[in-house]
Chains A and B, each alone.
Chain A
Amino acid sequence: RKEVEQDPGPFNVPEGATVAFNCTYSNSASQSFFWYRQDCRKEPKLLMSVYSSGNEDGRFTAQLNRASQYISLLIRDSKLSDSATYLCVVFEDSGYALNFGKGTSLLVTP
């Protein structure tokens, strides 16, 4: 079983829509979680960290459920510029390596 699993996608949504991505992780000892965004043929960029209490950054909301080992990302009022691949990332419990999911592709259309 892969350590970090994400919705397969792709997600095609119209501008203004709300879209949610889900991710599960297998190592219950993991302590730190992130969402990264990757544009086509570019490097991953940190979108936001994910905290147990949940956190919000503008139109983006991230949630963590440790009991279910589940992470989510909600994007409200989607913009064309949100089109990208969203990578769910879990720090190994060693604290050194990042474990990436395969990514979920989002295409926001006019």
Chain B
Amino acid sequence: DAGVTQSPTHLIKTRGQQVTLRCSPKSGHDTVSWYQQALGQGPQFIFQYYEEEERQRGNFPDRFSGHQFPNYSSELNVNALLLGDSALYLCASSLFDRGVDQPQHFGDGTRLSIL
């Protein structure tokens, strides 16, 4: 039973560039959430996708965008990269169950470094 998989594992970019991170949810899950974790901090919610729509968004600028595909996989895109975007980007998947908060399961993350 494959867990949440993310690619790539590491990425180095320069300021102003654009990046795309990818996530495949755990088998049987239909919801994908993205988080940013800076060094020494807890993960911060970026947004969540369900049924190919952005369902909720955290306090992140429009430079951060995403997509969910019919097979439930997801992409996170970040434009005009800033030094402050250097972080571990985590994808989490869950199964949407109305009325019950399902715990989210995380992938290994993509470590993004901006030079």
Residues of A within 8 A of B (CB): 4, 31-32, 34, 41-46, 49, 87, 91-92, 94-103
Interface string of B40-77 (1 = CB under 8 A from A): 11111100100000011010000000000000000000
A43–B56 touching, CB < 8 Å:
no
Docked complex Cα distance between A32 and B103 (Å): 9
Shortest CB–CB separation between residue A62 and chain B, in angstroms? 13
- B residues less than 8 Å from A41 (CB atoms): 88, 111
Shortest CB–CB separation between residue A35 and chain B, in angstroms? 10
B107–A97 touching, CB < 8 Å:
no
Q: How many residues does chain B have at the interface if contact means C-beta atoms less than 8 Å apart?
A: 24
Tell yes or no: B109 within 8 A of A by CB.
yes
Would you give 27 A-B contacts (Cβ < 8 Å), ordered by A? Answer: A4-B42, A32-B101, A42-B108, A43-B90, A43-B108, A44-B43, A44-B106, A45-B106, A46-B105, A49-B103, A87-B43, A91-B101, A92-B45, A92-B56, A94-B56, A96-B33, A97-B33, A97-B45, A97-B48, A97-B58, A98-B33, A98-B35, A98-B43, A100-B42, A101-B42, A102-B40, A102-B41
Shortest CB–CB separation between residue B42 and chain A, in angstroms? 3
- Which of these, A34, A95, A99, contacts B45 with CB under 8 Å? A99
A96–B42 touching, CB < 8 Å:
no
B106–A96 touching, CB < 8 Å:
no
- B residues less than 8 Å from A45 (CB atoms): 106
Residues of B within 8 A of A (CB): 33, 35, 40-45, 48, 55-56, 58, 88, 90, 92, 101, 103-109, 111
